[in-house]
Homo-oligomer: A and B are copies of this chain.
Amino acid sequence: MATSITVHDVAKAAGVSASTVSRALSGNTAVAAETRDRVVEAARQLGYRPNLAARGLITGTTHNIGLVVPDLENPYFASITKSVQSRALAAGYSVFIADSDEDIRTELELVHQLSKQVDGLILCSPRMAASDIAAVAGQTMMVLINREWEGLTSVVVDDAEIIRLALEHLHALGHRHIAYVGGPEKSWSNQKRWAAIERIAPTFDDLEVGKVGSYAPNFDGGQSAADVVVASGATAALAYNDLVGLGILARLTTRGIRVPEDLSVMGIDDVNVATLVSPGLTTVRSPLKKVGRSAVNSLVDLMNPTDRHSAPEDLPVQLVVRQSTSVPQQHS
């Protein structure tokens, strides 16, 4: 803060009025070339930077956006956050970050705290109730990631295609009994993924997919689930996401159960850490970078209704085969 320099300082230095400085620098209105040069030079010398808050007060546009995520330490959200902020920067926006720590009340509070100082909000995998989303949607422009709501713009990965690729891969290897290790009941993605399984599994010959409980969407959740998976008699586990997959992997290793010889394990998303372990985790890649970028693009379109809307980006998912899956062992 200190006593930062304002338009008036620049105006005095350049020997013009404050309004002329504003015009010269924002470049909207015509200014005499010579005057503008003088103003620009003065601004440069003084190191003038406009106060965006003040500008926003009158233009009604802050050039800030907000991003709300459930957990920044989850590499899934870290990747999305990184791409959101990168794209926002390129589009001339600064971004407020808000980590709800998976808590619904915090999530809502953060949204309210931010809504007044941003032009728009991106809600990533929001856990909040639909009614709250609807209420908030009236306050500010909004884009949803991994959730849909009538009238709101959404960016979602194709869960059905993810499931199809995963089942296809395991079925092709010869697996006929697969355990799906579920994520949080309230997670929209988890619901979609299980629904897709129920719809798609019957399209494969002789394939049985059982659902194993509901677990926290992280490493610990996977560790908890592993023993139940083993007991289920399935020859392959499909985890709700990579972190759960890694948890399963770790627990199986501890028990001396070999992967993939004794049991195949698949994750979903291909977050960065999936390559860190050995055996590497077979997974279906979600285009997280594109998700973040696309969400920003959509939001920018929403906030600037005049501009030509950019074509919606498609978000291809892709099977990534590593060492954690193989043909099932014959019964010994």
A73 within 8 A of B: yes
Q: Which of A50, A60, A254, A276 is most buried by chain B, counting CB atoms within 10 A of its CB? A: A276
| Complex: A28 Cα to B78 Cα, angstroms | 40
Across the interface, name the chain B residue whose C-beta is closest to A85. B99
A64 → chain B closest CB, angstroms: 8
A47 → chain B closest CB, angstroms: 8
Cβ of A110 and Cβ of B95 under 8 Å apart? Answer: no
* Known A-B contacts A1-B119, A85-B99; A250 and B276 likewise in contact (beta carbons under 8 Å): yes
A19 within 8 A of B: no
Proximity bits, A48-60, B CB within 8 Å = 1, else 0: 0111111011001
Residues of chain A in range 109-166 having any CB-CB distance to chain B below 8 Å: 110, 112-117, 119, 138-141
The interface residues of chain B lying within 8 Å CB-to-CB of A49 are 112, 115-116
| Complex: A116 Cα to B276 Cα, angstroms | 40
Proximity bits, A36-66, B CB within 8 Å = 1, else 0: 0000000000000111111011001110100
Across the interface, name the chain B residue whose C-beta is closest to A253. B278
The interface residues of chain B lying within 8 Å CB-to-CB of A275 are 219
Cβ of A50 and Cβ of B116 under 8 Å apart? Answer: yes
The interface residues of chain B lying within 8 Å CB-to-CB of A95 are 96-97
The interface residues of chain B lying within 8 Å CB-to-CB of A253 are 278
| Complex: A275 Cα to B273 Cα, angstroms | 11
Proximity bits, A235-248, B CB within 8 Å = 1, else 0: 00000000000100
* Known A-B contacts A54-B57, A56-B53, A250-B276; A116 and B4 likewise in contact (beta carbons under 8 Å): yes
The interface residues of chain B lying within 8 Å CB-to-CB of A51 are 57, 116-117
Proximity bits, A85-120, B CB within 8 Å = 1, else 0: 110010000111111010000100010111111010
A79 within 8 A of B: yes
Cβ of A73 and Cβ of B78 under 8 Å apart? Answer: yes
A277 within 8 A of B: yes
The interface residues of chain B lying within 8 Å CB-to-CB of A54 are 53, 57
The interface residues of chain B lying within 8 Å CB-to-CB of A219 are 275-276
| Complex: A119 Cα to B2 Cα, angstroms | 10
With A53-B54, A64-B117 given, name 18 new contacts (CB 8 A).
A1-B60, A1-B140, A4-B116, A4-B139, A52-B116, A53-B56, A53-B62, A54-B57, A72-B81, A72-B82, A78-B78, A85-B99, A86-B101, A94-B96, A96-B97, A246-B276, A254-B278, A277-B278
Q: Which of B112, B272, B276 contacts A277 (CB 8 A)?
A: B276
A75 within 8 A of B: yes
* Known A-B contacts A2-B138, A49-B116, A57-B53; A78 and B72 likewise in contact (beta carbons under 8 Å): yes
Residues of chain A in range 210-228 having any CB-CB distance to chain B below 8 Å: 219
Cβ of A2 and Cβ of B139 under 8 Å apart? Answer: yes
The interface residues of chain B lying within 8 Å CB-to-CB of A112 are 49
| Complex: A53 Cα to B62 Cα, angstroms | 9
A255 → chain B closest CB, angstroms: 11
Cβ of A96 and Cβ of B99 under 8 Å apart? Answer: no
Across the interface, name the chain B residue whose C-beta is closest to A71. B82
| Complex: A75 Cα to B60 Cα, angstroms | 37
